[in-house]
Structure 1
Amino acid sequence: MAEKRWVLRPLDPVRSHSLARELGVSPVLGQILVNRGITDSLQAERFLNPTLSDLHSPFSFPSMEKAAERLKRAITKRERIFVHGDYDVDGITATAIVSSFIRENGGDATPYLPDRFGDGYGFGRSGLSAAVALRTGLLITVDCGIGSRSEVEEAGRHGMDVIILDHHEVPEQIPDAYAILNPKMDGAYPFAGLCGAGLALKLVQAATVLMGLSEEHWQSFLDLAALGTVADVMPLLEDNRIFVIEGLKRLNRAPRTGIRAILETAGRKDSLGVREISFTIAPRLNAAGRLQHPSPALEILMTDDEGTAQVLASQLDQVNRRRQEIEASILEEAETLISGFDELPSVLALACADWHVGVIGIVASRLVERYNRAAFLACIQGEELKGSARGISAFSVVDALRACAPHLSRFGGHREAGGFSLSSDRWLLFQEALVAYGTSSVDREAFVPIERIDALLPSLSQVSSLTDEVERLSPFGPGNARPVFLVAGARLESVLPFGKDGRHLRLRVSRDSAGCCVIGFGQGRRAAEISGNDLCDLVGTLDRNVFQDHVENRLLLRDWATIEAERNDGMEHLRKLFRTLLSRGTPVSEGDSSWVLLKRETLEALSDSRLQGSSSLSEALRIFQEMGLLSDHPDGILLRKRGVKSSPQLSETLRRTRMTRRDATKRVPAGKDERRDLRAGGPR
């Protein structure tokens, strides 16, 4: 059995084939583009080959000209400019962008990052006091500030103009700032997905224009904008996609001194992509703010001195190793607590006195990945419990916190994540309320993770060419996930566990005289489910691994299901019906020749047909559609006639039908012969 529910994304053969023909790509890539809302060649060209000229104008922000003019004046007049950031990678890179731009153009910039443990998140009293002490003229908050209404007002009373660059949710009452740049404000900007670093880049881009500087004065910070965008898990679309593409070019061509030192310390020599930012650079920059003050992370991004960079890189590497050890320890303890539940609850709410407040958020994310439950973790800090939460698609963290607000002293966040504080004597009541909220608001079906499949892989012989095409969609991330493929009916030739304790799997599969390597990272625990010569359906992403000049095209496994005999229950009836429908179809006049058109009048003539061992024709058509064998057409329906194998595992209708039959078999007291008839689909 698969661990997840498989859902094939809707098909549009006519449109995808037309787009593929215009672009000179395969119908598979055409379908993937159509499913991502890209339906014409102009859209496709801008997506596949974006340039800096495709960026939205920074002056699309209503307050941008005012903000950039104020920054220009402060630089020109050598006013004290206080740049207040945040302790995560987005806040750190945003601070580095604005501060470096000011200094490089002769201005007086003081960067400031809060301490997670002493100051807490955002622009607060400590940052305000520091700005006042410096007799600041212009205060710029990056990646924070939109919720700091009282602090902004007090800064104004001390003679400061405040410019807020923040991408977080906009409260009902916003601060009375000199200018606010927030893409989530109504009518603020054509793209709401910018992070703090993206906003910082937009501000210096606008200032570059107003100051009459060359474009390199803002484009030199594209690498930092890419780091912040990827680390903050922002949608890799529109401006963000361009930031990351152009930023990666700069990181690979000539990385800044500090980034080069981080990579050397980590032993990375390969070309950089999103994966390297996510798993090598960002964790080291984040580790500083998680366990101590984040200043080394900011300093390494702003230094040009190689010796200083090497020392800082070594420090960050050591802190990150300690973070990994703490994370592993907390995760193990959390798993032990979970194993004590008689039944997995609707929400995971766990607390331990000595867990580290800077690391529990990462562990919460790990638990969400493992159990597909929202996770709320808390530990003691000072005189109260402080917690971090991560959600799932069907569960809003901030809505849950609002529902449990009577038990909390403070909370905040959004749908996917949040933070909260409460008195330790309220924990059990909070835990109870949280689980009750989860039970009442989330259907248990939502706890079964869904694997959304982009396309059926036509042939294993096409893995190499499709990998080339898929890479044109990169960089991958939120909003532009790596395409997921189904390989149906593959023969398993070998199974080889590898890695520590056999935690990973290396498989060799074949189908139709072609073979492919399959890597299952973290799938070792399921090794006993399969053996050589099994037939199975595989779900995964295409990947190209290069090691010592050896290139291997492979499938990275996300899930699989062995093809068991019982799975064919009722399938022969469906196969016969499908062949009958195909025989009544006509060639498609436009689009992919692997489809035939079954006209509406023919369907209406068949509307009273029944399937032996199944249900109505409409139910069968729904099954075919879920399996990727049928698609809607203005004149009727399209049926796939050749070239691609599918899997019954894709059909939720078929799964529910079989469950209903099994339940009926268990409920109805029947004799031996009647039970046999029920399993076959009902008495005849």
Structure 2
Amino acid sequence: MKKNINEIVLNLLYKRGITGDRDITEFLSPKPLRTYDPFLMKGMREGVLLIVDAVKNNKRICIYGDYDADGVTSVSVLKSILDDISENISYYIPGRFDEGYGLNIDAIKNIYEQGTQLLITVDCGITSAEEVSYAKKLGMDVIVTDHHNIGENIPDCIVIDPKQKDCPYPFDGLAGCGVAFKLAQGIQRQMGLSKNTINNLLDIVALGTIGDVVPLVDENRTIVKYGINRIRTNKRPGLEYLINKIGKGSQFMTAEDISFGIVPNLNAAGRMGNADMAVKFFTVSDTVKSKEIADSLIELNALRKEIQERDYQRCITVYEVEYSNCLFPLIVLEGAHEGVAGIVAGKMKDYCNKPVAILTEKDGTYKGTCRSTEDVDIHEILSKCQELFEKFGGHRGACGFTIKIENLNLLREAVEKEMTEIHCDMADKKDCEISFDMELSGGDVTDNLVEELELLEPFGAGNEKPVFAINKCRVVYMSYMGSDNIHMRFTVEATDGNRVACVMFNVPEEVTSKMDKGVLLNITGTFAFNRWNGRRDIQMTVKDISFC
């Protein structure tokens, strides 16, 4: 196997810890085999048997999910398989604005009054011990399926979460929809259903896995590869229609296309309206209806972009005036749209190179949405402040909480102390150079290299797109593009005489002021084929430029 691999790609694999022949073959294979028996997961067998018994006894089952892409795909996966075996399936997704994330007492009461006998959570519930207890007191059986970190107070019911300490499942990095998919696999095996029942769900699971930004390694890599292949074969007319409407082509769909193209439209339902729309998009059988829903999702996403940019610019101003000295700024943004707070927090995290929380006020409390940099585990930091929260949950890179207004200053003091103690002052990192995986000559950049780099797909968290450097290259052509000339196409000639076509988006002013034909540059960026009208040309997307 190694003899047939480009030496540059092989070195990249070695640097990422993929060295053995079997691991290399698995990593590059278009049909990977790395997947695990669902019944290895703690609680799975008990959960599957309870569901099968409920189906056989015609009990009403309600799936309780979350309003983000992972949540709606989790609901869609489980609903799809249960609809094949029962007519007594319903689902519930709490409203982002009036209920918030996770189980709540009023919703549980309403679900019970509708006759539900078995409540199954997806992508939530692991921190809802009190709510689960209430549901059981009403007489409902409860199964919690989740993938978030587990605290000390675990719900008293069947729990299916690979992060349980004594769970023998070999991989704990599944998204919520990945756990729901493993539950669907367990049901399929227990009831002897066709494997197509599972295969038909892979595109949905891939979308949710990419959308939740979990590491695209191990079993997640397998799920996403097969899911993307399914998307490329246009098995779901509504999804194909959405892809075409947003200007993508399903034939060459990548994880990056999904992350920046499809997922924002799915999330727009929960951010700007009702997440129920996204579940219907995946589960309705009427093609015309699914296309109508796709149009609505696109309209909501356009509105989301407008409001998001407004709040982001306001947040920058507030940060610079009030919070720039904080190591972990908890930014109160008055009048912010709650539906875009998570995105704004992520953009602010990139802006100031620090973990950031955006807080919105409602009824005497603040709802906080946090995003973190790669080297700061905000779940660990905030977990030490749990006594201050009304609600809290999440993982290393993203957390959410609800806190009483009077406790906010105590939280600020606590997180600043934690950040100081772990020596995580990131104030000087804003202007740091972009690192790269490997330096190349112009002659290294060939069709063969880019073809084999595509074998490293899907790229994402845990398997980032390789970044290369070409040093001391000379600009031989340049032009600006975009309505405000903020993007740039240019060609460089490397020291070996070979030329490389480049594109750079959102070019900073300090680059445009020095950029000209003949100047010498050091550039870092990624390589891909630019496909257009049946042609494909190698293009470097430049991330960083320094002048020699």
Q: Structure 2 length as normaliser, TM-score? A: 0.92
Secondary structure at 2:232's aligned position in 1?
Answer: helix
Describe the superposition over 1:380-418 as per-residue Cα deviations: whole angstroms up to 9, x where unpaired.
223333221211133332344456678765544333122
Asked if the contact 1:349/1:375 (under 8 Å) is kept, the reply is yes
Instruction: Compute the displacement of 1:173 (Å).
Output: 2.3
- For residue 55 of structure 1, the aligned residue among 27, 35, 56 is 35
Asked if the contact 1:408/1:423 (under 8 Å) is kept, the reply is yes
Asked if the contact 1:505/1:524 (under 8 Å) is kept, the reply is no
Relative to structure 2, which stretch is displaced further, 118-127 or 395-404?
A: 395-404
Q: Residue 529 and residue 407 in structure 1: after superposition, are their counterparts in 2 closer, same or farther (change >3 A)? A: farther
Structure-1 separation of matches of 2:482 and 2:400: 36
Structure-1 separation of matches of 2:304 and 2:17: 40
Q: Which amino acid aligns with 1:356?
A: H
Instruction: Compute the displacement of 1:94 (Å).
Output: 0.9
Structure-2 separation of matches of 1:402 and 1:153: 22
Equivalent residue number for residue 149 of structure 1: 129
Q: Residue 82 and residue 116 in structure 1: after superposition, are their counterparts in 2 closer, same or farther (change >3 A)? A: same
Instruction: Compute the displacement of 1:141 (Å).
Output: 0.7
Instruction: Compute the displacement of 1:430 (Å).
Output: 5.4
Describe the superposition over 1:613-650 as per-residue Cα deviations: whole angstroms up to 9, x where unpaired.
xxxxxxxxxxxxxxxxxxxxxxxxxxxxxxxxxxxxxx
Structure-2 separation of matches of 1:475 and 1:101: 26
Asked if the contact 2:123/2:145 (under 8 Å) is kept, the reply is yes
Q: Residue 251 and residue 128 in structure 1: after superposition, are their counterparts in 2 closer, same or farther (change >3 A)? A: same
Of structures 1 and 2, the larger Rg is shown by 1
Q: Residue 338 and residue 160 in structure 1: after superposition, are their counterparts in 2 closer, same or farther (change >3 A)? A: closer
Instruction: Compute the displacement of 1:150 (Å).
Output: 1.8
Equivalent residue number for residue 165 of structure 2: 186
Q: Residue 156 and residue 340 in structure 1: after superposition, are their counterparts in 2 closer, same or farther (change >3 A)? A: closer
Equivalent residue number for residue 248 of structure 1: 228
Q: Which amino acid aligns with 1:355?
A: A
Structure-2 separation of matches of 1:226 and 1:327: 26
Q: Which amino acid aligns with 1:464?
A: D
- For residue 502 of structure 2, the aligned residue among 506, 518, 524 is 518
Q: Which amino acid aligns with 1:516?
A: V
Structure-2 separation of matches of 1:95 and 1:426: 35
Is 2:332 the counterpart of 1:351?
Answer: yes
Q: Superposition pairs for residues 150-549 of structure 1, below 5 Å? A: 150-177=130-157, 179-188=158-167, 189-271=169-251, 272-340=253-321, 345-401=326-382, 410-424=391-405, 438=419, 441-444=423-426, 447-448=429-430, 449=432, 451-511=434-494, 512-525=496-509, 526-549=511-534
Describe the superposition over 1:241-287 as per-residue Cα deviations: whole angstroms up to 9, x where unpaired.
11111111111112323323423443434532212221222111111
Q: Residue 139 and residue 407 in structure 1: after superposition, are their counterparts in 2 closer, same or farther (change >3 A)? A: closer
Relative to structure 2, which stretch is displaced further, 405-414 or 271-280?
A: 405-414
Asked if the contact 2:42/2:162 (under 8 Å) is kept, the reply is no
Secondary structure at 2:350's aligned position in 1?
Answer: helix
Q: Which amino acid aligns with 1:447?
A: K
Secondary structure at 2:285's aligned position in 1?
Answer: coil
Q: Residue 300 and residue 343 in structure 1: after superposition, are their counterparts in 2 closer, same or farther (change >3 A)? A: closer
Describe the superposition over 1:492-528 as per-residue Cα deviations: whole angstroms up to 9, x where unpaired.
2233232232222222111111101111122243321
Relative to structure 2, which stretch is displaced further, 506-515 or 101-110?
A: 101-110
Q: Superposition pairs for residues 35-50 of structure 1, below 5 Å? A: 35-49=15-29
Secondary structure at 1:174's aligned position in 2?
Answer: coil
Instruction: Compute the displacement of 1:324 (Å).
Output: 0.7
Instruction: Compute the displacement of 1:343 (Å).
Output: 6.2
Is 2:76 the counterpart of 1:93?
Answer: no
Instruction: Compute the displacement of 1:362 (Å).
Output: 0.2
Structure 2: 5+ residue runs without aligned partners?
Answer: none
Asked if the contact 2:26/2:32 (under 8 Å) is kept, the reply is no
Q: Which amino acid aligns with 1:190?
A: P
Relative to structure 2, which stretch is displaced further, 361-370 or 336-345?
A: 336-345
Instruction: Compute the displacement of 1:530 (Å).
Output: 3.1
Asked if the contact 2:42/2:159 (under 8 Å) is kept, the reply is no
Q: Which amino acid aligns with 1:183?
A: P
Structure-2 separation of matches of 1:531 and 1:35: 35
Q: Superposition pairs for residues 101-120 of structure 1, below 5 Å? A: 101-120=81-100
Q: Which amino acid aligns with 1:185?
A: Q
Relative to structure 2, which stretch is displaced further, 379-388 or 226-235?
A: 379-388
Instruction: Compute the displacement of 1:97 (Å).
Output: 1.0
Describe the superposition over 1:445-476 as per-residue Cα deviations: whole angstroms up to 9, x where unpaired.
77355634222214345343211111111111
Is 2:537 the counterpart of 1:556?
Answer: no
Describe the superposition over 1:194-245 as per-residue Cα deviations: whole angstroms up to 9, x where unpaired.
1111111111111111111221111110111101100001111121111111
Structure-2 separation of matches of 1:48 and 1:294: 36
Asked if the contact 1:357/1:387 (under 8 Å) is kept, the reply is no
Instruction: Compute the displacement of 1:435 (Å).
Output: 5.1
Q: Which amino acid aligns with 1:519?
A: V
Q: Which amino acid aligns with 1:278?
A: S
Relative to structure 2, which stretch is displaced further, 57-66 or 222-231?
A: 57-66
Secondary structure at 1:359's aligned position in 2?
Answer: helix
Q: Which amino acid aligns with 2:336?
A: W
Q: Which amino acid aligns with 1:510?
A: E
Structure-1 separation of matches of 2:78 and 2:291: 24
Equivalent residue number for residue 597 of structure 1: none
Instruction: Compute the displacement of 1:154 (Å).
Output: 2.4
Q: Which amino acid aligns with 1:521?
A: F
Asked if the contact 1:258/1:303 (under 8 Å) is kept, the reply is no
Q: Which amino acid aligns with 1:326?
A: I
Structure-2 separation of matches of 1:421 and 1:114: 16
Structure-2 separation of matches of 1:27 and 1:49: 17
Instruction: Compute the displacement of 1:292 (Å).
Output: 2.4
Asked if the contact 1:394/1:446 (under 8 Å) is kept, the reply is no
Q: Which amino acid aligns with 1:275?
A: E
Structure 1: 5+ residue runs without aligned partners?
Answer: 1-20, 564-684
Structure-2 separation of matches of 1:185 and 1:404: 21
Secondary structure at 1:101's aligned position in 2?
Answer: helix
Q: Residue 270 and residue 204 in structure 1: after superposition, are their counterparts in 2 closer, same or farther (change >3 A)? A: closer
Asked if the contact 2:481/2:488 (under 8 Å) is kept, the reply is yes
Relative to structure 2, which stretch is displaced further, 503-512 or 519-528?
A: 519-528
Describe the superposition over 1:88-126 as per-residue Cα deviations: whole angstroms up to 9, x where unpaired.
111111111111111112342111111111221112213
Q: Residue 335 and residue 432 in structure 1: after superposition, are their counterparts in 2 closer, same or farther (change >3 A)? A: same
Secondary structure at 2:513's aligned position in 1?
Answer: helix
Relative to structure 2, which stretch is displaced further, 308-317 or 211-220?
A: 308-317
Q: Residue 362 and residue 547 in structure 1: after superposition, are their counterparts in 2 closer, same or farther (change >3 A)? A: same
Secondary structure at 2:81's aligned position in 1?
Answer: helix
Relative to structure 2, which stretch is displaced further, 393-402 or 162-171?
A: 393-402
**Number of residues paired by the alignment?**
542
Describe the superposition over 1:534-575 as per-residue Cα deviations: whole angstroms up to 9, x where unpaired.
222111111111112232201111112222xxxxxxxxxxxx
Q: Which amino acid aligns with 1:453?
A: F
Structure-2 separation of matches of 1:274 and 1:87: 21
